Structure 1
C-alpha cells in the first residue's frame, strides 16, 4: 500500500462487522487521511481477515526484511554510539538525533520513497508478520509478540495497543501502532 490504513478505511471494517474496534479522530483530523492507530496485533488480524474476504485476497502484513528494504531510502542512518561499553549502549538512543513529534499527522506528512511509498519515516510504527518469541523459542502459532517497524525495530506484545504504556524494551517506544498491507498478487 502506498499509505497506511486510515481511520475511514478501518471504520468501514467495523461498520461491516469485521473489526470489533471502532476508531475516532480528534477534532480537526480527517478520518480519510488520518492513519488508523491504537491497534493491537489481534485488531490488525481482524482487518486482514475482513479485507481478504471482501476482495480477491492476497493482502498480508510485510515481513521485517521487506519493510526495512522499502523504508531504507527514507530512514536516517544509524549514528555512531556515544558509548562503546555494551552496558551503556542503550543510553545512546536517548542522547542522539532529533526527537520526532509524537503528534499523529495526516498522510503525506513525511517522505516518499523512490517506489512511491509514503510516510515510512513517520511516527506510526507498522506491525509486521514476524514473530518475536525471545529466548523461550515459543512456536509462531502461539506468538507472544510481533515486531513493529519504525525508527527502530521493536518487539511488541500482541495485545498492546498503546506502546507508550509498555511493550518496547529498547530505545524510545513507538508513538503509534498502525498498519500498512502488502500484496503478493499484482493489482
Structure 2
C-alpha cells in the first residue's frame, strides 16, 4: 500500500483525510516502568540471515537481499491485544493520538511549505477505517477504500457506535507509533528493529513465506489475509473478514503467532526507500537500527516508520505483502484499521 496520509488541497482549504498529528504524551496516572518479565514472550536465538529479497515479483524497497546479523532477544508471542492495551490504559490513563485533537503546527511539518491551514472543523480526533466499495474500483486509488472517520479509536474501531465486545483477544488497532512506544516503555520493553522483526518472522527459514514456499500448503490457510477480489469482495475463506483472535493460525518455527497477516506491526526503524541498497554495500551488517532519518520519494515531507507483516487486507490481486521481506512506509502519527504491534526485550 502507498502512503497512508491523504491531503486534498482545494481553493484555500485543506481537507485532512487520513492522519492525526503527533502531540506530546499526556501525563499518566502511573509513571512507573513495570518490571519486565518473559511471560508471553519467546526467546529468539539471533543469528545471521539474508534480509530482504531478490525476488523479481517483490517491491523495489525490499531489494536487494543482504546479510544481517542480530543478537538474541525476547519477543511477544502474539500481537498486543485489546485486553492487554486496556490494562495499560487503565493503569496510566494514556490517551492515544486518535483520541486527541490534532495540532496544525505539528501537522504542517509533514506538508509542503505554504500549505494553507484547514478550518478547525476538520482538526478533530479520528482515524482511518477500511470501507469496502460496493463496486469495482481502480487499484491505484486507495481513497476508494479508506475513510477518515471522526471518533474512531482503539476503543471504537469503526466509530462511536462500535465497541470491543467479542474482540478482547483481537490485536489492538488504530495505534500510532507513539502509542505503541508508550506501551512498550511502560512494560520495560521496546519495539523491534526491522531486522529483528524480519529475522523472527522467518522462524529459522529463508523461504518466500514464513512457513514455506506455498501460500496455502495443501489448502491450509497459514495467516489471516484477504481472499477474493480486493477491495470489493472478501470471500472470507480463512474464516475472518477483518482481524482474528491472536493465535488463530499456526505459529512459525520460533513459536510466534500472526507474524504474517492479521495486522501490520510497528517497528522502531525510520523508513527509507533506499536503505537496503546502503546495507548491501557491506558483506555483513550487525544489528542494524534503520536509517538516521526517513525518506519516501512519494511523500518527501512525511515522517514514516517501517511496518511489517501485512494484514487481513493483503490480497493476491493487490499488495501480496504477506511475506517476511515485505515492508511498508507508515506515517508515525497514523492510526488505521489494520495496524497494531508487538514488543521485544533485550536479553540481559
TM-score interval for Structure 1 and Structure 2 normalised by the shorter chain: 0.5 to 0.7
1:39 paired with 2:198, answer no
Poorly superposed stretches of 4+, deviation over 4 Å: 75-79, 98-102
Match of 1:27 among 136, 143, 165: 165
What whole-Å deviation, never above 9, does each CA across 1:60-109 have from its counterpart, x for those lacking one? 11111111111124256599xxxxxxxxxxxxxx8xxx998651100111
What secondary structure is seen at the aligned counterpart in 1 of 2:80?
coil
* In structure 2, C-alpha distance between the alignment counterparts of 1:40 and 1:10, rounded to whole Å: 13
RMSD: 3.1
What whole-Å deviation, never above 9, does each CA across 1:19-61 have from its counterpart, x for those lacking one? 21373354332x1x22111111021122123222xxxxxx111
Aligned twin of 2:198: 68
* Structure 2 residue runs without a partner (length 5+): 1-75, 97-152, 156-162, 204-209, 216-229, 275-290, 295-301, 310-321
Aligned twin of 1:11: 86
Q: Which has the higher strand share?
A: 2
Question: Please, what TM-score do these two structures have when normalized by structure 2?
Answer: 0.37
Aligned twin of 1:131: 270
* In structure 1, C-alpha distance between the alignment counterparts of 2:95 and 2:194, rounded to whole Å: 27
1:153 CA drift (Å): 0.7
Q: How many residues align?
A: 147
* Structure 1 residue runs without a partner (length 5+): 53-58, 80-93, 163-174
Question: Please, what TM-score do these two structures have when normalized by structure 1?
Answer: 0.66
What secondary structure is seen at the aligned counterpart in 2 of 1:15?
helix
Is the radius of gyration larger for structure 1 or structure 2? 2
